[in-house]
């Protein structure tokens, strides 16, 4: 099932382009792109260690979703999480400093790429066990239900995680209790090196929660405005107390699963084709140009982001490593 | 501005590699994402993508070169329009070296063990007989009345009134928002409860028995126990996982396992195992108030047993404090949960034989009250550790090591373990009895060292 199959979905532009919104989306996506490119560089220089899963190519998913959320809504995701953190408004400096394992990182250097959190931004991680965040996100939605507020939780996971048992357990619980949880399957076609066709007997993951009566739709994840439109529908459904909602967002990662991925499971041409024909940032730029936004405004965004990312990289390299005493903190809270 | 392209690290462990092939030549335009070279490591051949755009001005490491160290400049890229012949700057602005490794420091663990015992627990005054079952129910009800964030969920906890009737009456008092029947789906509902706790609620998760918590152990350890640390202290998880642990009666191997040492092994958790009604009520109230994830190991056989329990409305038992149930001079017997009763029976028999045994009820396994154990062993100089679970890497092994570390010189005999046999628990009545510690086993163990 090629991404191209869904190409037309996002192209049906019935409304005129909201240039302010699109400009914001463009800037938010570009920040993630440039941040991740920089993270890749720092990894290559040995300044970032361990696992580092880059989000390059998938930026439209989290940016389109986030634009439909309000203050107080929760976000939780897996280990490919840098983009989600930046989209929720977390400081690129603190994120990059965590990647380099420094005291100024969001987790004081104790979490790394896969484990960052921000209570202030309602970002609940950053989880390294495939699928575990789906049950946790269901619990965040449960807390909204328990408190009888109108907040929603967006729970992201990959098409690889979508086969985990606890995902289906969560679908059942959320539908049973009518929890305000938006499940977003970021289908980038490959769970590590295994294509979705080789891992899932289902050919339409948006129907994965249909046995429990949960609505689900497929969305073109390379078109940020299409994601945004789908997100608004999902958010309205959950806020109205109608229970969970499932989005299968068809996207693509340009880089390897992690940094040490030889990428032999797909062709170079496949990647280049997506990049040249379907790139979410290029699409947004063309729409902005077509809408008459002048080059200077776009250039200003580009320059501003370049500066912010460089500042984050400088901060992440100049910050001190955590003190040895940090080993023994944050294990238990004082009772 | 020219940019040096550095030999990249392509995996967490790569320190050098072979520059196998250049796919671009000097003068070529390079776009971000273009493959510019292939690098071989001992594990794989990997393609190097350009991160920046520009023209390939110089190649600094020829293809076929072996042993190229990570971070070595391998090529120079110039921005469009720039003079490709211009020499590269001697040092790349980008190549900021990783900070020099500091002198290795061996950070010592905070000295938390073998401190002098803190003040004795308060006297709680009047008591009345109460079953362990009622004590657990009363503790949950009291804490739910005091704090709206506290709720109970699990299989059969609401309409059925609890598989073992622990939650009897709670649905009537608190309603179905706070006493929640779940489907039989431990992995999912445990993760859901942990998520709710991360967002500030205070769930009590009832596992019908702890055997079924194995379905959910990833959420207990990886999500509940580790997130505070991984978040640099931002994201706590105030949650109680409770239910029957260990052998019941004739339910065979899959339903008869003690998980004490499994959970006590893990930093980020507290693990308690009550014996009496007072333990059950006081510890459960403390557990629900505690801001950390707590493993609360109950015992099905004890549920129906009656003990005197303080009636004071404020009664609690602190986590991390053992209790001396019987004082003695000649030997210390350490036990927890149902084995405390077995140890007390043994002590009674020993008293008839002129041996005075001190019996410690651990109550908490993590944190362990090492101070109380050490003080007792220094007095008696002999110790027997009793548990229902398996011997290998069990709680007794840890107790023995703590004693050796803290009061080896006071010992007059090697520490001894009395444990369940190292077999899956059998069903047959005679075999089951043969596999679980009996008072006689403890008496025999004591007789060998006193």
Q: Write down the pLDDT at residue B105.
A: 54
Residue A323 three-state SS: coil
Percent of residues, chain A, with pLDDT higher than 70: 96
Percent of residues, chain B, with pLDDT higher than 90: 79
Pairing of strands B2-6, B73-78: antiparallel
Contacts of B198 (CB under 8 A, 6+ apart): A124, A136, A139, A140, B227, B235, B236, B237
In terms of domains, do B277 and B154 share one? yes
Q: Nearest to residue A151, comparing CAs of A134, A137, A172?
A: A137
Domain with residue A41: its CATH number is: 3.40.50.970
In terms of domains, do B25 and B150 share one? no
Q: Write down the pLDDT at residue B110.
A: 59
Domain assignment present for residue A253? The answer is yes
Residue A66 three-state SS: helix
In terms of domains, do B419 and B364 share one? yes
The alpha carbon of residue A16 is apart from the nearest alpha carbon of chain B, in Å, by 32
**Most B CBs within 10 Å, among A137, A139, A146, A211, to test the B interface:** A139
B68 membership: H or E segment, kind and range: strand B65-69
- What are the pLDDT digits (tens) for B228-259? 999 999 999 999 999 999 999 999 999 999 99
By C-alpha distance, the chain B residue nearest A45 is: B71
Q: Write down the pLDDT at residue A73.
A: 98
- Counting the structural domains of chain B, the total is 3
Averaged confidence pLDDT in chain A:
94
CB atoms within 10 A of CB B75: 25
| Rounded distance between C-alpha atoms, residue B65 and residue B67, angstroms | 7
Are A171 and A208 contacting, i.e. CB atoms less than 8 angstroms apart?
yes
Q: Write down the pLDDT at residue B198.
A: 98
Exposed/middle/buried for residue B449 (C-beta within 10 Å: 0-12, 13-18, 19+): middle
**Chain B residues whose beta carbon lies within 8 Å of the beta carbon of residue A106:** 231-232, 234
In terms of domains, do B71 and B198 share one? no
**Chain B residues whose beta carbon lies within 8 Å of the beta carbon of residue A103:** none
Assess whether pLDDT exceeds 80 at residue A6: no
Out of B70, B107, B189, the one facing A325 most closely (by C-beta) is B107
Catalogue the active-site residues of B: 186, 255
- What are the pLDDT digits (tens) for B66-90? 999 888 999 998 876 555 444 444 4
Cross-chain residue pair B198–A49, CB shorter than 8 Å: no
- What are the pLDDT digits (tens) for A33-54? 999 999 999 999 999 999 999 9
By C-alpha distance, the chain B residue nearest A263 is: B46
**Most A CBs within 10 Å, among B199, B217, B291, to test the A interface:** B199
The alpha carbon of residue B427 is apart from the nearest alpha carbon of chain A, in Å, by 31
- Domain of residue B398 covers 323-449
Cross-chain residue pair B231–A107, CB shorter than 8 Å: yes
Domain with residue B56: its CATH number is: 2.40.50.100
Measured CA to CA in angstroms, residue B404 lies from A306, B264, B320, B385, B399 at distances of: 60, 19, 20, 13, 9
For chain B, the residue count is 450
> Starting at the edge strand that comes first in sequence, how are the strands of the sheet with B65-69 ordered?
B45-49, B35-40, B16-22, B65-69
Domain assignment present for residue B183? The answer is yes
In terms of domains, do B286 and B346 share one? no
In terms of domains, do B157 and B287 share one? yes
Domain assignment present for residue A309? The answer is yes
Q: Nearest to residue A260, comparing CAs of A58, A44, A115?
A: A44
Are B375 and B117 contacting, i.e. CB atoms less than 8 angstroms apart?
yes
Domain with residue B147: its CATH number is: 3.40.50.970
* Average pLDDT, integer, range A306-318: 97
Are A140 and A76 contacting, i.e. CB atoms less than 8 angstroms apart?
yes
In terms of domains, do B36 and B139 share one? no
Are A3 and A274 contacting, i.e. CB atoms less than 8 angstroms apart?
yes
Exposed/middle/buried for residue B233 (C-beta within 10 Å: 0-12, 13-18, 19+): middle
- Counting the structural domains of chain A, the total is 1
Cross-chain residue pair B192–A135, CB shorter than 8 Å: yes
Domain assignment present for residue A283? The answer is yes
By C-alpha distance, the chain B residue nearest A118 is: B234
**Most A CBs within 10 Å, among B195, B201, B271, to test the A interface:** B195
Interface residue A26 vs chain B (CB under 8 A): no
In terms of domains, do B252 and B346 share one? no
Question: Count of CB contacts below 8 A, A vs B?
Answer: 212
A165 membership: H or E segment, kind and range: helix A165-177
**H helices of B231-290, where?**
260-264, 277-289
Pairing of strands B150-154, B202-209: parallel
**Chain B residues whose beta carbon lies within 8 Å of the beta carbon of residue A111:** 230-232
8-state DSSP, B220: I
**Chain B residues whose beta carbon lies within 8 Å of the beta carbon of residue A333:** 228, 236, 291-292
> Among B272, B288, B310, where does a domain finish?
B310
Assess whether pLDDT exceeds 90 at residue B101: no
| Rounded distance between C-alpha atoms, residue B360 and residue B340, angstroms | 8
- What are the pLDDT digits (tens) for B177-214? 999 999 999 999 999 999 999 999 999 999 999 999 99
> Among B45, B61, B78, where does a domain finish?
B78
Exposed/middle/buried for residue A268 (C-beta within 10 Å: 0-12, 13-18, 19+): exposed
Q: Write down the pLDDT at residue A15.
A: 62
By C-alpha distance, the chain A residue nearest B40 is: A262
Cross-chain residue pair A324–B107, CB shorter than 8 Å: yes
| The two structure tokens encoding residue A298 | 């776009």
Assess whether pLDDT exceeds 70 at residue B112: no
By C-alpha distance, the chain B residue nearest A332 is: B268
Q: Percentage helix, strand, coil, to 5, in chain B?
A: 30, 25, 45
Assess whether pLDDT exceeds 60 at residue A260: yes
**H helices of A184-294, where?**
196-199, 224-239, 268-278, 280-290
Q: Write down the pLDDT at residue A164.
A: 96
B344 membership: H or E segment, kind and range: helix B338-352
Domain assignment present for residue B317? The answer is no
| Rounded distance between C-alpha atoms, residue B315 and residue A289, angstroms | 71
Domain assignment present for residue B318? The answer is no
Domain assignment present for residue A224? The answer is yes
Q: Write down the pTM of the prediction.
A: 0.90
In terms of domains, do B390 and B416 share one? yes
Cross-chain residue pair A118–B236, CB shorter than 8 Å: no
Interface residue A139 vs chain B (CB under 8 A): yes
Out of A129, A142, A172, the one facing B195 most closely (by C-beta) is A142
For chain A, the residue count is 335
Q: Write down the pLDDT at residue B31.
A: 80
Domain assignment present for residue B210? The answer is yes
What's the pLDDT band for B9 if we cut at 50, 70, 90? Answer: confident
Cross-chain residue pair A132–B8, CB shorter than 8 Å: no
Q: Nearest to residue B321, comparing CAs of B281, B288, B357, B361?
A: B361
- What are the pLDDT digits (tens) for B385-444? 999 999 999 999 999 999 999 999 999 999 999 999 999 999 999 999 999 999 999 999
| Rounded distance between C-alpha atoms, residue A96 and residue A106, angstroms | 9
| Rounded distance between C-alpha atoms, residue B235 and residue B226, angstroms | 10
Interface residue A118 vs chain B (CB under 8 A): yes
- Domain of residue A216 covers 3-318
- What are the pLDDT digits (tens) for B329-356? 999 999 999 999 999 999 999 999 999 9
In terms of domains, do B301 and B376 share one? no
Are A84 and A125 contacting, i.e. CB atoms less than 8 angstroms apart?
no
Assess whether pLDDT exceeds 90 at residue B140: yes
Are A251 and A87 contacting, i.e. CB atoms less than 8 angstroms apart?
no
| Rounded distance between C-alpha atoms, residue A246 and residue A154, angstroms | 10
Q: Write down the pLDDT at residue B15.
A: 83
In terms of domains, do B359 and B270 share one? no
Cross-chain residue pair B195–A132, CB shorter than 8 Å: no
The alpha carbon of residue B431 is apart from the nearest alpha carbon of chain A, in Å, by 37
| Rounded distance between C-alpha atoms, residue A2 and residue A247, angstroms | 17
By C-alpha distance, the chain A residue nearest B5 is: A41
Domain assignment present for residue A329? The answer is no
């Amino acid at each position: 099932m090629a991404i191209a199959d869904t190409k037309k979905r996002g192209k049906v532009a019935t409304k005129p382009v909201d240039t302010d919104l699109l400009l914001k989306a463009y800037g938010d996506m570009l920040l993630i792109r440039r941040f991740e490119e920089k993270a890749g560089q720092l990894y290559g220089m040995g300044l970032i260690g361990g696992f580092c899963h880059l989000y390059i190519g998938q930026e439209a998913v989290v940016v389109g979703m986030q634009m439909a959320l309000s203050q107080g809504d929760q976000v939780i995701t897996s280990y490919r999480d840098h983009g989600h953190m930046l989209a929720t408004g977390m400081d690129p400096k603190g994120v990059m400093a965590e990647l380099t394992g420094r005291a100024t990182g969001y987790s004081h250097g104790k979490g790394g790429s896969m484990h960052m959190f921000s209570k202030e931004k309602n970002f609940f991680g950053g989880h390294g066990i495939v699928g575990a965040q789906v049950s946790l996100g269901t619990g965040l939605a449960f807390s909204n239900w328990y408190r009888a507020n109108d907040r929603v939780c967006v729970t992201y996971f990959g098409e690889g995680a979508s086969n985990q048992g606890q995902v289906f357990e969560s679908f059942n619980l959320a539908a049973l209790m009518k929890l305000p949880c938006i499940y977003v399957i970021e289908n980038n076609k490959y769970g590590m090196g295994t294509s979705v066709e080789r891992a899932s007997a289902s050919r339409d993951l948006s129907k994965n929660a249909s046995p429990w009566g949960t609505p689900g739709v497929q969305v073109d994840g390379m078109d940020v405005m299409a994601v945004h439109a789908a997100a608004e529908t999902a958010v309205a459904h959950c806020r109205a107390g109608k229970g969970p909602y499932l989005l299968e967002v068809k996207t693509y990662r340009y880089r390897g699963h992690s940094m040490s991925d030889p990428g032999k499971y797909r062709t170079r041409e496949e990647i280049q084709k997506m990049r040249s024909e379907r790139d979410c940032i290029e699409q947004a730029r063309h729409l902005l140009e077509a809408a008459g936004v002048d080059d200077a405004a776009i250039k200003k965004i580009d320059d501003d982001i370049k500066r912010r990312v460089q500042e984050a990289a400088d901060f992440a390299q100049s910050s001190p490593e955590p003190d040895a005493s940090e080993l023994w903190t944050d294990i238990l809270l004082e009772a | 501005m020219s940019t040096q392209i550095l030999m990249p690290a392509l995996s967490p462990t790569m320190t050098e590699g072979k520059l196998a092939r250049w796919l671009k030549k000097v003068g070529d335009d390079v776009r971000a994402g273009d493959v510019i070279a292939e690098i071989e490591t001992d594990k794989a051949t990997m393609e190097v993508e350009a991160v920046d755009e520009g023209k390939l001005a110089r190649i600094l490491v020829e293809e076929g070169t072996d042993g190229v160290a990570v971070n070595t400049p391998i090529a120079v890229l110039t921005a469009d329009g720039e003079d490709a012949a211009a020499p590269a700057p001697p040092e790349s602005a980008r190549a900021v070296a990783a900070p020099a490794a500091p002198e290795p420091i061996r950070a010592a663990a905070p000295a938390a063990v073998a401190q002098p015992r803190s003040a004795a627990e308060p006297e709680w005054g009047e008591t009345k007989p109460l079953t362990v079952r009622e004590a657990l129910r009363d503790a949950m009800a009291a804490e739910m009345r005091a704090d709206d964030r506290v709720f109970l969920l699990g299989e059969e906890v609401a309409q059925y009134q609890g598989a073992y009737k622990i939650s009897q009456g709670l649905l009537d008092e608190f309603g179905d928002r706070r006493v929640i029947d779940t489907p039989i789906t431990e992995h999912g509902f445990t993760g859901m409860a942990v998520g709710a706790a991360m967002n500030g609620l205070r769930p009590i998760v009832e596992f019908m028995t702890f055997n079924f918590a194995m379905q959910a152990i990833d959420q207990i350890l990886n999500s509940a126990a580790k997130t505070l640390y991984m978040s640099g202290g931002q994201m706590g998880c105030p949650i109680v996982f409770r239910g029957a642990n260990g052998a019941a009666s004739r339910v065979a191997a899959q339903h008869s396992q003690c998980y004490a040492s499994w959970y006590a092994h893990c930093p980020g958790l507290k693990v308690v195992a009550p014996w009496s009604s007072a333990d059950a009520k006081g510890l459960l109230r403390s557990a629900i108030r505690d801001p950390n994830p707590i493993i609360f190991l109950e015992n099905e056989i004890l549920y129906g047993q009656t003990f005197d329990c303080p009636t004071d409305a404020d009664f609690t038992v602190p986590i991390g404090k053992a209790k001396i149930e019987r004082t003695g001079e000649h030997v210390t017997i350490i036990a927890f949960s149902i084995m405390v009763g077995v140890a007390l029976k043994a002590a009674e028999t020993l008293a008839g034989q002129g041996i005075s045994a001190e019996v410690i009820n651990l109550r908490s396994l993590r944190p362990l009250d090492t101070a109380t154990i050490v003080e007792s062993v220094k007095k008696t100089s002999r110790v027997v550790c009793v548990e229902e679970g398996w011997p290998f890497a069990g709680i007794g092994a840890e107790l023995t090591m703590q004693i050796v570390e803290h009061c080896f010189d006071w010992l007059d005999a090697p520490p001894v373990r009395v444990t369940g046999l190292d077999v899956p628990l059998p069903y047959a009545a005679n075999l089951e009895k043969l596999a679980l510690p009996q008072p006689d086993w403890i008496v025999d163990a004591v007789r060998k060292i006193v």
